Amino acid sequence: MVVREHVLSERTPGSGRRPAPRREVPARPPETPAPDPDRPPEDTVTPGWAARRLGLKPSEFELAVQLGEVRTVATGTPWLRRVARAELRRLAEAEGGPEGLRERLRLVGAGQGAALLGISPGRFGRLARCGCFTPARFYVNRYQAVVWLYLATELRQFAEREPELLTGRAPAGLLAMLAAGMDLRARGWRGRRAEQLIGQTDDPWERVAVWAALLAPDELDQAVEDPRERACLRRLRPALISTGAHAPGSRDAAAGMLTVDDPVELRTCRLSLAAALATARAARPAPLLGPAEAVPGGVETWPPREGVEPSGAATTGTTATTGATTALTGTMATTGTTEAMGLKPAGRPVREPASRTGRPRPLWRRLLGRA
């Protein structure tokens, strides 16, 4: 009875015929998707995953990549890097392991550095201003003073290489540099950062963008006359520092460390840019980047800009630190003169026009004389 009901239920309504039995079609094997050239290989991981695997903080891992302690691979997107799993295995099996890597990344300030070298903080600051050792990083404290940080391993190497500079009277050349008010800390950090970025890319236009990132807008306009090339370089320029490394109130002081202001350094930077630009032009024309191809890490946006054009052609202004700041390494002079910052000479009344939006202009705009 059950079978009969089942048979009747399968008959077509309104007819006495039984429907033809269905043919079973064998399942097709799953198709293998075509390889995506833009998809990163599976044998690589993101920097965040690699940092957690090595037990490093994001800032420590970023420093390790900058110093070449952790090798990265390109992804096809400008300045976006990944880490190979083989590199993680190499670091885990290396002598000292992750703990040894963390020790090589240890940063010290002026006080700790002076104690490490066995000298006074004042002498340490004088040696640092003369460029005897190069800062690896900096930050702006709550008093708007720039604090430089140094690698402990490099300080130990300096003590072994130049023990005579740690005791007795300083050489005449160093004394003359100090008497002239020379401070090479910012210049040394910028040069070091440029070398790190150039070592991370083989693209000729990205290498030009590294030197372009160190120049003020007016200097870049003079060095690169083609507006199409300038627009390309502004979109390709890398972030010299992490955008979240400093509080919003201290970004003006940090921005002054990112732009070349010394005449000798400016001449060297422009020569390097000209050589890299000639190599890039010989390789291929400047690539056109659309709005969707923004560079990860971002173009430097310090000081903050108003009215940025969507084409990416807007540029940052030249910023100088305001007032002398006393850090652990000693007193730092302000960068730039009154004329270079666009201020009117003392004794004349300064009229403060409102911005285009009707609100008071930010301090960095008033210093640069911008609307």
Please give the C-alpha separations between residue 308 and each of 25, 301, 369, in angstroms, as whole numbers: 60, 10, 18
CA torsion through residues 151, 154, 159, 165, sign: negative
Would the pTM of this model clear 0.75, i.e. be above it?
Answer: no
pLDDT in the model for residue 248: 61
Do 71 and 61 form a contact (C-beta atoms < 8 A)? no
Single out the residue of 300, 288, 295 nearest to residue 75, CA to CA.
295
pLDDT in the model for residue 16: 58
Beta 44-45 vs 81-84: how paired, if at all?
antiparallel
Alpha carbon 128 to its chain centroid, in Å, reads 23
Sites in the chain below the pLDDT cut of 70: 1-41, 243-249, 289-371
Count other Cβ atoms within 10 Å, centred on residue 272.
18
Q: Is the peptide bond before 163 cis (omega within 30 degrees of 0)?
A: no
Single out the residue of 352, 324, 349, 351 nearest to residue 336, CA to CA.
324
Helix (H) or strand (E) holding 81: strand 81-84
pLDDT in the model for residue 51: 95
Count other Cβ atoms within 10 Å, centred on residue 200.
19
DSSP 295: P
DSSP 39: S
pLDDT in the model for residue 306: 35
pLDDT in the model for residue 291: 55
